[in-house]
């Protein structure tokens, strides 16, 4: 009787390992190569006296670094352009174990909070850095924070 119990437990472990291995291989095979290529450097140190850092900290965010530049090489007809495109990230913050990108809207400029405007302005950040949950938009006109999250099906 004990022989069958041991065999049953081993079969359950084998099924669990096969399911785990299948999910790992499925994700690995279906993840685009470019998603793993972009990583952020250290960025610049955070100035704790900066009013934006104080606003983010007061709102419960932990500011990790500032001023990142992500270079994106571009090719046209299989020939690289002489210059790369650059994405400027103002801050990287964390709240509740989730990482966010922070973009500043300078005082005097405006942003429309419509679906098309948000897509055109901030979707690239979620696509280039998929490990970040969303984008925190800091409006310099009224010192407000807006969390923008893109939900993909």
Judge if 82 and 117 occupy the same domain: yes
Domain that holds residue 82: 37-148
Q: How many domains does the chain have?
A: 2
Question: CA of 95: how far to CAs of 11, 17, 33, 92, 129, in Å?
Answer: 41, 33, 28, 10, 17
Q: For the residues 47-64, what does the mean pLDDT come to?
A: 87
Residues 26 and 59 in one domain: no
> Is residue 9 in some structural domain?
yes
Q: Is the pLDDT of residue 102 over 60?
A: yes
Share of the chain above pLDDT 70, in %: 92
The pLDDT tens digits for 82-92 are 888 888 888 98
Q: Which residue has the tokens 């437990």?
A: 9
- Terminal-to-terminal C-alpha distance of the chain: 48
Q: Give 147-153's long-range contacts (Cβ < 8 A, gap of 24+).
A: 147/100, 148/118, 148/122, 150/119, 150/122, 150/123, 150/126
- Does 153 fall in a domain? no
**Shared domain check, 88 and 71:** yes
Cβ neighbours of residue 104 under 8 Å, at least 6 residues apart?
Answer: 52, 90, 138, 140
Residues 48, 84 share a domain: yes
CB 78 within 8 Å of CB 71: no
Same domain, 20 and 93: no
Average pLDDT for the chain: 85
């Amino acid at each position: 009787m004990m022989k069958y119990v041991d065999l049953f437990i081993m079969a359950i472990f084998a099924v669990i390992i096969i399911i785990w291995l299948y999910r790992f291989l499925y994700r690995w095979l279906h993840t685009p190569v470019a998603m793993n290529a972009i990583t952020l450097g250290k960025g610049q140190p955070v100035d704790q006296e900066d009013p934006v850092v104080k606003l983010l900290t007061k709102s419960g965010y932990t500011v990790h670094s500032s001023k990142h530049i992500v270079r994106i090489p571009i090719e046209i007809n299989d020939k690289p352009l002489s210059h790369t495109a650059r994405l400027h990230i103002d801050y990287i913050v964390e709240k509740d174990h989730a990482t966010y990108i922070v973009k500043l809207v300078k005082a005097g400029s405006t942003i429309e909070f419509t679906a098309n405007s948000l897509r055109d302005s901030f979707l690239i950040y979620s696509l280039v850095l998929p490990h970040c949950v969303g984008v925190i938009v800091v409006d310099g006109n009224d010192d407000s924070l807006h969390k923008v999250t893109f939900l993909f099906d």
